[in-house]
Amino acid sequence: MLTGKQKRFLRSKAHHLNPIFQVGKGGVNENMIKQISEALEARELIKVTVLQNCDEDKDTVAEKLTSGCQAELVQIIGNIIVLYKESVENKQLALP
């Protein structure tokens, strides 16, 4: 579990990132979870946009992604979810 200080650090790191995934009408599926897991392994910190036409609310989407990818939810801001997962191979971020 992330501490408040770690979350603040990750939020500042995520600020300039662009969302690389979009959750739309289909909601969260296995394939998306697999792709997001791979992206987290490569980048550690990613943003996911929840589109207007998504049938699930952003909290549900965030919950499914964090449990599916075993990731940490850093924040939900507007329709953007920020996820973090420590990388096994490419560790880049040193948490405070």
| Angstrom distances, CA of residue 81 to CA of 57, 89 | 12, 24
Torsion angles phi and psi, residue 12, rounded to 5: -65, -35
The answer as to whether 89 is a domain residue is no
Length of the chain, in residues: 96
Number of independent structural domains in the chain? 1
The answer as to whether 94 is a domain residue is no
81, β-bridge pairs: 48, 76
Per run of 10 residues, the mean pLDDT along the chain (length 96 residues) is 94 96 95 97 97 95 97 97 93 88
Question: Identity (one letter) of the amino acid at 51?
Answer: L
The answer as to whether 66 is a domain residue is yes
Q: Could you tell me the two tokens for 96? A: 């405070």
Range of the domain at 56: 4-84
| Per-residue confidence (pLDDT) for residue 23, from 0 to 100 | 97
CATH code for the domain of 41: 3.30.110.60
| Per-residue confidence (pLDDT) for residue 91, from 0 to 100 | 87
| Angstrom distances, CA of residue 89 to CA of 20, 26, 40, 45, 69 | 20, 31, 11, 14, 16
